[in-house]
Every structure is written in C-alpha cells, then in structure tokens.
Structure 1
Amino acid sequence: MKWTDVQEIGIQLSEAHPDVNPEKVNFVDLMRWVMALPEFNDDPKHCGERVLEAIQQAWIDEVA
C-alpha cells in the first residue's frame, strides 16, 4: 500500500483501531499508525497534510 491508497488505508485503520474516533486522532499518530500497517510500504517523505486529511476522511467515512 502507498500513501495514495487512502480508501484501503481507511478500511485497515478502522479494523486495526476499532475503538478510536478518527475525528480525534492527531496527524502525528495517524501517520505513525499508517506506517505500522502490515501491508503499508511507502516513503514517509511522500506524506503531507493533504494526504493525512484524505486518509482521516476515508477512515471517518468507513466507520460512519
């Protein structure tokens, strides 16, 4: 998975952290949790605020 796979990342985060409200996650933790996903393999330098916002929104949409 790469940073651009926001939908898949959102799904995996919702499964990995079922008791977490994605609206309350700060971007530092979000980035760390994404990089810890087993299938994730991308350069941290390719991540930015817009990418994290998109991932957070995909996660919110997944749990809604």
Structure 2
Amino acid sequence: MSLDALYWDATYEIVCSLDDTYPDIVIDDVGIDQLYKMIVALPNFADDPALVNNGILNAILREWYEEKMG
C-alpha cells in the first residue's frame, strides 16, 4: 500500500488505497456517503474533507468499479 499523501484529485491513488484497505468489498453495495467515510478514514488521506463534491466521489467510485471489474 502506498503511504503517499492522498488528495481528492488523486483518483487512481485513492482507488488503489481503497482496494488495498477493503479488498473484499462489493462495490455495488457502496453508496456515496459510505465511500466518503471510507476515503477520509484512509490513514494517508491528507486533503480537506469539505472540498469534495458528488462529482469527485462518483468519479472515484466509477474508477474503483472499473479497476475491480477490469
């Protein structure tokens, strides 16, 4: 797992960290609110939680889904 600081614009790096932290999660069951909580709980997340919006969270969720299914 990468220990580099994570920021909202680092979509792929966030996805990799989520996948390492939650390897058995069913992504279809993850909602936007849960995803937000999972990201800000990552030990290397360093951005301001207030800067996020649904577009960013949806992009992260879409990328994570594609990584899992790809």
Same fold (TM over 0.5): yes
Q: What is the CA deviation profile of residues 23-55 of structure 1, one whole-angstrom value per residue up to 9, with x for unaligned ones? A: 220111100100011111111111000000011
TM-score, normalization by structure 2: 0.83
TM-score, normalization by structure 1: 0.90
Runs of 4+ with deviation above 4 angstroms: none
SS at match of 1:19: coil
More helix by share: 1
**Please, which runs of 5 or more residues in structure 2 have no aligned partner?**
1-5
Higher relative contact order (CA 8 A, sep 6+): 1
Give aligned-pair identity as a percent. Answer: 31
Distance in 2 (CA, whole Å) between partners of 1:25 and 1:62 is 15
**Please, which runs of 5 or more residues in structure 1 have no aligned partner?**
none
Residue 14 of structure 1 corresponds to which residue in structure 2? Answer: 19
